[in-house]
Amino acid sequence: MLPREKLEGLCGELAELQETISDPALVGDARRYKALMRRFRELSGICSEWKRYQDFELQQLQTEQLARNDDDAELASLAREELEHLKARLDESELKLRDLLIPSDPNDGKNAIIEIRAGTGGEEAALFVADLYRMYSYYAEQKGWKHTLLDHNETGLGGFKEIIFMLNGEEAYGLMRFESGVHRVQRIPVTESGGRIHTSAVSVAVLPEAEDIDIDIAESDLRIDVYRSSGHGGQSVNTTDSAVRITHLPTGIVVTCQDEKSQLKNKVKAMKVLRARLLDAEISKQEQEIAQSRKAQVSTGDRSAKIRTYNFPQSRVTDHRINLTSYNLDGFLAGNIEEFIQALRIAWRNEKVNA
């Protein structure tokens, strides 16, 4: 049974919220206005679906009366057929309402900043960083997201010690957040002459893009250094100090960017990453507090947790959080990761329902 009293209460809250957001005095408080508008959109979806459900209920009641009409057998037969369709619509609407009633994460709709770093495995790990970067780029193309490279540190064989990029698009963070953690690869490295399988590791961090009203950063909390950027082997050395290093003094977080020839553009990109890391630190703290009261199966907070293994000899990829395995590793690395992402998302939402 649906929580009717709760649903009516939420629709009452929506009516009150409509009056609140129409107050001109609210315009000057950007943070509160944004939070209220987010809640308004959330409640609008719930109440719209609740009205739709009630309309189906009324139609069902009226159709049941027609189905009991002994004076018109043909009309009664048609009514009974319509009742089957109405029951299916009611069931569908109820499932949607239950899904909408699960508290949403306000960060899910944000763009995603993704940081991939080589761990154990040396050059082989750096090459796998490049593989994951391509995989996420292909997936972004499938979703119609815009891709922006923020910073990278390339190695001699075409790998990356680290690469940072942003995905702009609908629910980018909400879908990509479950990629955070340690990704393990088992394969024969290109540098291995004996044909032995090596195990390497790469860490992935997925951060929600933070807006100015999400994170307040005082200029006095920043130390900004500029220097000349350089590529691998001394290539692409700029003749001007365009590279930027920003240190957030209260936390010690350091962000660098040298991808652009313009110092200003590098500073803007670096600030995006800094804001995202500060917001992510707040989110991780909240998740750790929740984890103390319950053991989470699908975690997005622990960056050191081994979440997935890519086994090349067996063409197998396994997600250890939900015990999901695919034997189409080539397709997976080509960006066909939607099945895993949706399965992880469902498991995470089920946890929230049962928490």
Instruction: Name the strands in the sheet holding 222-227, side by side, starting at the edge strand that comes first in the sequence.
Output: 222-227, 243-248, 253-257
Whole-angstrom Cα distance, residue 341 to residue 314? Answer: 22
| Paired strand residues for 311 | 186, 316
pLDDT at 233: 42
The pair of structure tokens assigned to 209 is 């893009």
Please give the CATH number for the structural domain made up of 112-354.
3.30.70.1660
User: How many residues are listed for the chain in this entry?
Assistant: 355
Burial of 245 from C-beta contacts in 10 A (0-12 / 13-18 / 19+): middle
Show me where the domains of the chain are located. Answer: 4-100, 112-354
Residue range 8-31: mean pLDDT, rounded: 88
What is the tens place of the pLDDT at every residue in 203-218?
999 998 887 656 778 8
| Phi, psi (degrees; rounded to nearest 5) at 52 | -60, -40
What is the tens place of the pLDDT at every residue in 238-273?
556 788 999 999 999 999 888 888 888 899 899 989
What is the tens place of the pLDDT at every residue in 45-92?
999 999 999 999 999 999 998 888 777 888 888 888 899 999 999 999
Q: Which residue has the higher pLDDT, 116 or 283?
A: 116
Residue range 5-25: mean pLDDT, rounded: 91
Q: Are 332 and 317 in contact (CB under 8 A)?
A: yes
Residue range 147-176: mean pLDDT, rounded: 91
